[in-house]
Amino acid sequence: MGTIAENKSSLNNLQLELLKSLKYMASEKQLQEVKSLLRYYFAQQLDAAIDKAEAEKNYSAEIYQKWLQANNNSNNSFVEA
């Protein structure tokens, strides 16, 4: 297994910065807190991307309800047959 320096070219700047920060973690609790922060950050990024896509495509709650109804109707037809 190579060292971080050897693998440096395959890591992006974010990954490198995270690795540098890990050397300061002293406990499992800190690791769990960092993982929680990262999950929160990426969830926020995902929410923003979804909001943007919904706005661009003019999606609304009504469209989602129609999709759910169509899906439920198609599932029910298989059950009834």
pLDDT at 80: 44
User: Is 44 in contact with 36 (CB distance < 8 Å)?
Assistant: no
pTM: predicted TM-score of the whole model, two decimal places: 0.61
Residue 76 has pLDDT above 80, yes or no: no
What average pLDDT does range 12-16 have in this prediction?
93
The DSSP code for 10 is G
At 49-71, the pLDDT tens digits run 999 999 999 999 999 999 999 98
Structural domain boundaries enclosing 54 = 4-80
Domain total for the chain? Answer: 1
Residue 15 has pLDDT above 60, yes or no: yes
What is the C-alpha separation between 31 and 21, in angstroms, rounded? Answer: 11
pLDDT level of residue 5 (50, 70, 90 thresholds): low
- One-letter amino acid at 9 equals S
